[in-house]
Amino acid sequence: MKTNHNEILEQNQLLRTKCLVYTRVMGYHRPVESFNIGKKGEHKQRMYFKECKC
């Protein structure tokens, strides 16, 4: 019997722990959860890059 990903998540919902994502804003580290709706939108639109080795 094969279970899908959503069923597994639902079964283990009580075992999961909340993960807080922090980002640096104006020199301070703040949880993204505390941002207002506009700032959350800006955070989702950020582009990340990998710096190449010299």
Residue 23 lies inside a defined structural domain of this protein:
yes
DSSP-assigned letters across all residues of 1-54: ----HHHHHHHTGGG------EEEETTEEEEGGGS-HHHHHHHHH-----PPP-
Residue 24 lies inside a defined structural domain of this protein:
yes
Residue 2: the pLDDT is 58
Is the per-residue pLDDT at 1 higher than 50? no
Query: By residue range, what is the domain housing residue 30?
Result: 18-47
Residue 5 lies inside a defined structural domain of this protein:
no
Beta-bridge partners for 1: none
Express each pLDDT in 8-43 by its tens digit.
888 888 888 889 999 887 889 999 999 999 999 998
Total domains in the chain come to: 1
The CA distance from 50 to 4, in Å, is 33
Residue 41: the pLDDT is 92
Using only C-alpha atoms, the chain has a radius of gyration, in whole angstroms, of 17
More confident residue, 35 or 4: 35
